[in-house]
A and B are shown apart, each in its own frame.
Chain A
């Protein structure tokens, strides 16, 4: 973890600084009004800012979301890099014979070797679902297994 320095700026706000792994000095100035300034220090003159971004509260939300999303997909990417382990999202089709049945009824683990680690049901995520959890048409199933197992599961749930 990088060391973060906090400095009070009387009448303005608070400034946080840290050095990135690549050696750049970054500073985030939070105004009392909620405006932020993100700045990179000059390598030649370490006391001066080079590039300064002026961020409104709205901009901060967008940037925060982007950085947050990047974080999640990095984690997923890390899981996918485990040798042979695949994670995938599959939506339950109304045509599927398994729409309306529970996970246990489907015997997916037995037939495909895939573990269902989460079900997204109408915007609500059920992590580590109970075997009795019902799969409805339109639900998204998150499965972990082999590439072949997930192809088989997809065939079961989408047709």
Chain B
């Protein structure tokens, strides 16, 4: 998995590409936490390049979201592909996380 990082305004945008599973989730989690530990408090996970998410991937996202909530930061996701959106819907992750259709909507939410 590759993870592209791009700072847009005050938001750190991370765009992973590939599968988000037990093998790759720790890498993504570490990457996000590195930014959070260095002071980033607004994080957007842009998932249009991810076509598969497993339970381990969901747990990594949950831990990141929880950490940012504890730090009173903000976390959002956008660009979910159809199979990934289905997993989020089945597990109810779409009800507890801020998920947006595209990056512009997500950035507007995080800026607000």
Q: Do A and B bind each other?
A: no
Instruction: Give the interface of A toward B (CB within 8 A).
Output: none
